[in-house]
Structure 1
Amino acid sequence: CTAQAVLELLDYYEIPIEGKRAVVLGRSLVVGRPAAMLLLHRGATVTLCHSKTENAAGLAREADILIAAAGRRESVGAAYFRAGQTVIDVGIHYNEETQKLCGDVALAEADGVVRAVTPVPGGVGALTTAVLAAHTAKAAARRIK
């Protein structure tokens, strides 16, 4: 559901995917890999980075679309960004120091650099819930028929 929510968000804001360079930080079976596959299906050139990827920050800077699903609190910082990027933060963590929710992206380092970045909370998570509800409704409708 989260991977689909990422694409729904890109579509809603009319952010082109076809022919664009996308980097997905994280290779989880739940978000990273499905997001990469959906982006590939939509015509993006996709690079999937993980903990063993050399120069992940350099690869991320080349992306038009950067999906942060690394699973580490505020680990995606200035070294990963360039002007004009669209950054989608899929992570959600509780910061004990600030006692607030945060994502994988260090928002303060993205502000003023990237074209757009999704907030945490209030970004992809809310849309994931909507996608899940839509899937549940479709499944129920199929069952009734």
Structure 2
Amino acid sequence: MGYKVKRKAYRLRFEDPDMDGLVVLVHGMNTGKFIEFQNAKAKQEDAGPDEMSPTEEMCRMFVDALIEWNLEDDDGNLLPPTMESLESLDLDFSMAMVNAWPDAVKGVSDPLPQTSAGGQPSVEASIPMAVPSASLAS
């Protein structure tokens, strides 16, 4: 009897306070798609004029994985989760979503809150130590 892998969905998280309230749900990516995405990201600067730009390639992969989002146009109408809608958004906003996708898939954890001490001091460090006595000559 075999094991069937369940397809995952991810809710993207954003650090930018301007994106507070944004909900973006995407499918996960298989290993091949992740490698393809990373390769496109690495060659963003080197694309020739006749090739699909790596940025466009990354955006198309993202839109293909997009399940839903709660983005609205200026009139309050929901934008469909399409390439055309993504292209209508400011570049920094679009790329924040596109780049959050592989981070979610590979499990980048949220940073610790600024108030976090990152752990407690070791108990052993607070135990007083006696100064060892000088060695006795035989």
TM-score normalised by L of structure 2 = 0.27
The structure in which a higher percent of residues are strand is 1
Highest Rg: 1 or 2? Answer: 2
